[in-house]
Amino acid sequence: MNPPDDTGGDTRDQKPDFGPRGYVPPQAAKRARKIVLREPMGLGWPIAAVVAGTILAGLGLVYFLTQAGPPGAPYERVANILTIDPRGAAVMPASTGQVLVVRAGGGVRSYLAPSNAITYCPESKALESADTVWSLEGRKLGGSGASLRPLPSRVHDGSLYVNLQQPGQALAPAAGQQLPVCSN
């Protein structure tokens, strides 16, 4: 038996009132999994989608063309990244000093190189000089001196570019006193 309508009568013989466009009858709305459109959307919707897609493609092309080249000033080319051991570190000459480039531990990190010679020690997984130890992030772990100052760097087409004019802040030294393992 069909439930009575608001007037108390049987709803079997009445035509449903479909309400506004896109209306879904209450019983169907309970089971509905998607929106039911009762009319075509019109030509405006596909045109708007094509215009939006064209604008996004144009913006992407402009971004690609402006960002695809090597970085400009104040970045300067320091080295070919393939000349630096991927499991080590090297000091490279630059226009206003020297740059310590670390590839050990994944990625590429650049620091202002201190005056003493630095090498990567695989046993301690740290950077070491004769009397100082640093983590791969440049934090002083022990010895004399200070933490290393990071340099903004970018790799483009196999070349490493660094910004020597704006070195970052050095990390605070670690509390312990780690001794060099490989430099002794």
Dist. CA 121–CA 127, nearest whole Å: 6
Residue type, 7: T
38 and 79, same domain (yes or no): no
pLDDT digits (tens, 9 = 90+) for 97-134: 888 898 888 888 899 888 888 888 888 888 888 888 88
- What is the torsional sign of CA 60, 65, 68, 72? negative
Q: Give the containing element (helix H, strand E) for 77.
A: strand 75-80
Q: How many independent structural domains does the chain possess?
A: 2
Token code pair at residue 136: 């791969």
Do residues 97 and 62 both lie within one domain?
A: no
Which pTM does this prediction carry?
0.61
> Which 3 state secondary structure label does DSSP give 184?
coil
pLDDT in tens, 29-45: 777 666 656 667 788 88
Q: Which residue range forms the structural domain that includes residue 85?
A: 75-163
Task: Let me know whether 159 and 79 are in one domain.
Answer: yes
Helix (H/G/I), strand (E/B), else coil: 31: helix
Task: Provide, rounded to the nearest whole percent, the portion of the chain with pLDDT above 90.
Answer: 10
Asked if residue 157 is part of any domain, the answer here is yes
